[in-house]
Structure 1
Amino acid sequence: MLGSARFGLNGKVVMVTGANRGLGRAIALACAASGADIVLGARKQTEAAMVAEECRALGRRAHAGVLELTDVACINNFVPEAVAEMGRIDVLVNNAGITIVKRAVDFTEDEFDAISDINFKGAFFTATAVARSMIDKSVKGAIINVSSQVGHVGAPLRAVYSGSKGALNQLTKTLAGEWAPHNITVNGVSPTFTRSTMLEQAMQNPDFRKMVERVPLGRPAEPDEIASAILYLASDAARMVTGHTILVDGGYTSVRN
């Protein structure tokens, strides 16, 4: 069946991590506007609750809770609680992530662990917790990992971040193969520099600002532009797509100069 209904999310429950601000908020609102009920996980309960209210204003159900991705027990408690309230999870968007912009030789072990624990370890255990619920309920699910252009080509001053996102890209491929027999698709979206408070802070570093200026289309992405790719992968229109990571990078990785 073709048509716009196949690209919508009516009747689906979408869980978004890091959903309290920036790209996570944009993804949650885009999914709600496309007909999905929303589960919002974030470190900051108050901010997540505010986004939940925005989703309800669009006529959707929404569940918000504290999700600490560095705590596997927290993840394993959060997902069943969300499933109990919402009935199931059809789509997971592993969006939460952090970065630190500095020279590799200056990184401390604590900084390395902070990035790796959220960007890779947290994404892994969130995906497995949600996949477990999908398998138990025979849900034809979709898991979408938000990666980065620098997980494909690397970048100065972002060694640990690049490594964590490169690992996430390989995880996407591996889980796609493992969970295909359960009708669960696993894909990724790799944005270019995307307008956010975190980006504005990073651009205080002149060397980092030069990297942003190298985007061939001449600007950072808007959060809604990244959310659009996620909407496609979350929809039934993408049921035959798995194991891939879509670059939404303004040509950064293919037309580098």
Structure 2
Amino acid sequence: MYAFTLEQPKTLADAKRFTSGGAMALAGGQTLIASMKQRLSRPENLVDLGGIAELRGVKMEGQNLVIGAMTCHQDVANNADVRKHIPGLAALAGGIGDRQVRARGTLGGSVANDDPAACYPSAVLGLGATVVTDRREIAADDFFQGLFTTALEPGELITAIRFPIPQKAAYAKFRQPASRFALVGVFVAQTASGVRVAVTGTGSGVFRHAGLEVALGKSFTPEAVDGVAIDGADFSGDLHASAAYRAHLVTVQTQAAVRQANGG
């Protein structure tokens, strides 16, 4: 590691003052600390958001679940309202990493980082959630912009994410055994306005799949996606899986997610 300053504000106002001055936000550190150890990131100033109580917790707002950005994965997984209204989101959170990661990693940190193999972005996009920041509100369809790239501006902080409650939803992933990231993960949601399907882990960043959405909109069953073509031309191929295998897994995990959403 190398020398850097660390600020630990207790209020959002103080955190904004530091980040507006160019400091980098630390929101759990499950990615940032590791990249700093490897010298892939070298921030001179860090702002630890962990002590800001207003950024943690889950609350109901009408037909929406609002989850604070600094709520850790384990708290999302165990929250009674999440388990009742969006059990697929609770299950997703409970399947991230290991206990240590779930105790430290946060919803906001994961979404802001936008790792192409992370689980949370698929839930945000699949549920059509809204990312709330200290400056504005950003629809999920406008938020994710590619590998490790989002609509966040310099110094902008995620404060919460607002999830509309779906009729049905579930997440299924093929887990990379060493990292426990998604080799491929698919989040499906049946809502009053239609079906949404978000895919993560293919290496091209989280995305919605129009063909799967159309097929499941006609029949929300695993069999409905059998004939849907999955174009893996832009998918990653590596020592864990070829692009063609990842394309195959998109179909398999979509079917698994639909079975879960239907109670199977």
> Does the pair score TM above 0.5?
no
Instruction: Flag the structure with higher helix content.
Output: 1
Task: Report 1 or 2 for greater relative contact order, CA contacts < 8 Å, sequence distance ≥ 6.
Answer: 1
TM-score with structure 1 setting the length: 0.27
TM-score with structure 2 setting the length: 0.27
Instruction: Flag the structure with higher strand content.
Output: 2
Structure with max Cα Rg = 2
